[in-house]
A = this chain, B = another copy of it.
Amino acid sequence: MKGLMMDSHLTVSSILQYAEKYHQDGEIVSRNVEGGIHRYSYKDAAVRSRRLANGLKRLGVTPQDRVATLAWNTHRHYELYYAVSGSGAILHTINPRLFPDQLAYILNHAEDEVLFIDLTFIPLLEQVAPQLKSLKKIVVLTDREHMPKSPLPEAIPFLCYEALVEAESEVFEWPEIDETSAASLCYTSGTTGNPKGVLYSHRSTVLHAWASISKDALDIGNNNTLLPVVPMFHVNAWGVPYSATMVGAKLILPGAGMDGASLSELIAEEQVDLLLGVPTIWLGLLQYCDQKNIKLEPVKNVVIGGAAAPLSMIKAFQEKHDAFVMHAWGMTELSPIGTVNSLNRHMAKLPIEERYKLQTKQGRPVFGIEMKIAGADNQALPHDGESFGHLLVKGPWVASSYYKVEKSPLVDGWFDTGDVATIDPQGYMNIVDRAKDVIKSGGEWISSIDLENAAIGHPALAECAVIGVPHPKWDERPLLLAVVRESMEISKEEIISFLADKVAKWWLPDDVIFVDELPHTATGKILKMKLRESYQSVLSEAT
């Protein structure tokens, strides 16, 4: 027997419509790519999104067409989030930090016909243009005064975003959309093989937003001021453009300014209380604050995801800035949020050092996500905090397959995350490593992440990476690549002795190599595959 409830569909446009009615004065503040700050309300954003939706129609975009964006976190990108999905088309956000070949592959694979692009990325477009097969129209996210010359063949219209929006009526009826329809598309920043497209639905987007605002998840309400430094060009900035809108929080979009100076300025001027981003960004911000002796006064919570947050970073935020770090974990295929490590009843009672230790774990699944770990034979492993295995997930915002890929990635209905993790009796999940980054030494596993987190605690190190490199006797042994902080010095021996009481003896890196910088993916992850290629023979040559 069916329940007798309304068959109301969960749609992306309903979020903006709600904000227009009930959060009309809520502010969206955006650092312009052209310079300066843009400031308007959710109501203004809704009006402009409707104009834009009419503009999309004029451009010939029809429901289910993919519309590409190559753009920073700005109010114009925000308008595209709602205008594209809201009108029934599919918002295809593209990560500009991908290699040009991957960019071209993605644009062709998604068959994007219209691309909205920030000024910054025009040179990139020029570079990949010869490879593009489907692209028919370019819209530059700027006003008339800042319009550049087109670097493309004349046959491809090269339009001005502000001119497009201004020309249209603000009268637009958001169509009714089945909640299982596709709303947006994001390709994994995969370090191996071609990127794969994850096709989010309206339903998954709304449920993910609902789950993420809750007190035990990202804890987002109307009173908050959010600064998502995590980019809107990848996994929808962790869903913040939806979740912030749902509650009418003040939303600060940092544009292209991801450096410490730009961020700390925005935080102080807009009184940001919730930061969201990857560890690399926070390293830069914390270093800047140290140098300038700045305290991030208004910040209360910092959500860190994308990579492991080192203990030293958790402590720095708490002790220098009075800000609580909520570790989170997710991935493109999870929309992206899977777990959050929030300050619950249990954690609140812990002595501070124990609390810090618990905070380094990735947290517990938000309601909606099921999680288990399994061994090589796909048998479930115990949640004892010790056993580690492949992390498998399930839930209404988890991908069931990839765009235009026949083969299902699921195993008995579960999605294999490619991470290796432990789960403790209270359900705290801890990523041990990426399955492909785990170092297999003499039949045992060493977590590259644990080693990195231990090493980064040394004050002289700005960043570091541990990779497994081939070793004639042990199969693989850990190699530490270290970036030393400006104007500081440290020797290999000092690093090894610093690690000696923090990890098992047989985990100690066989060598330390100092480098000027480490290669990163667009989302701030260290490109270990590249490092493994570069350093594959250092230990075999050394022996």
Residues of A within 8 A of B (CB): 1-8, 10, 15, 18, 21-22, 24-26, 64, 90, 180-183, 198-204, 207, 210-211, 213-216, 219-223, 246-248, 250, 335, 342-346, 348, 364-365, 367-368, 394-403, 413, 415, 426-427
Contacts and interface: CB of A to CB of B under 8 A. Distances in A.
B8 A198 contact: no
26 contacts: A1-B182, A1-B199, A2-B180, A2-B181, A3-B203, A4-B401, A4-B403, A5-B203, A6-B396, A8-B396, A15-B367, A18-B365, A18-B367, A22-B426, A24-B426, A25-B346, A25-B426, A26-B345, A207-B210, A214-B214, A215-B219, A215-B222, A216-B222, A223-B343, A246-B367, A250-B345
Given A8-B394, A22-B426, 10 more contacts: A1-B181, A3-B202, A5-B200, A6-B413, A8-B398, A24-B426, A215-B215, A216-B248, A222-B342, A246-B367
A8 to B, nearest CB: 4
Nearest to A250: B345
A395 B6 contact: yes
B2 A398 contact: no
A201 B3 contact: yes
A523 to B, nearest CB: 21
B22 A364 contact: yes
Contact of A7 (B1, B10, B365, B400): B400
Nearest to A65: B1
Contacts of A248: 216, 344-345
B344 A223 contact: yes
B223 A3 contact: no
A215 B216 contact: no
A90 to B, nearest CB: 7
Given A3-B204, A90-B1, A364-B22, A220 B210 contact: no
Nearest to A201: B3
Which of A4, A24, A346, A427 is the most central at the interface, judged by chain B CB atoms within 10 Å of its CB?
Answer: A4
Contacts of A365: 18, 22
Contact of A64 (B1, B25, B180, B222): B1
A211 B213 contact: no
A187 to B, nearest CB: 13
A6 B400 contact: yes
Contacts of A3: 180-183, 199-204
Contacts of A346: 25
